[in-house]
Chains A and B, each alone.
Chain A
């Protein structure tokens, strides 16, 4: 199993450009999520999905879109990049939702994004 994979590993964008961060998992996990990691702020949830066709907003969703057409893939789209979106982005997945407690989240290696 490859686990959770993310592409690209690094990306530089200019303000106003759009792009899609890819995330895929091969563990048949129902729950997938996107976090951003910023210095001194830990990880903050952007969007999450509890299954194919179902997505919902996390605590910092503005400027980002997601879709979940298959169980395996959960891409994150930046509509019009801004310097405030400079961050490291992590995708994570698990069999069940965190609401049910005790479930380990599996994280991808991250995408480091710089917006100039």
Chain B
């Protein structure tokens, strides 16, 4: 299985500041045939199901604010929130869909400082 490791496990950021969450996969999730990274980011607020934010590592899902961005390739990826808002308090998960043994990172809890 591809192991997804996120860092940090938790993060406290001031309102309006930048938040950065990292995700590392144990093997590359880049398909050379189409040059796509099979990596998604999800946001889960307390008591709610996960919500898709980013797919193909950097494509924002429809309706997701543009303060959310994804970057990276191969084995190292980053989710950035450019200016933290109160409603962004949540747990964030990365996921690989490079193979059908889909795996998620352990989650990063984002709080307001």
**A in complex with B:** no
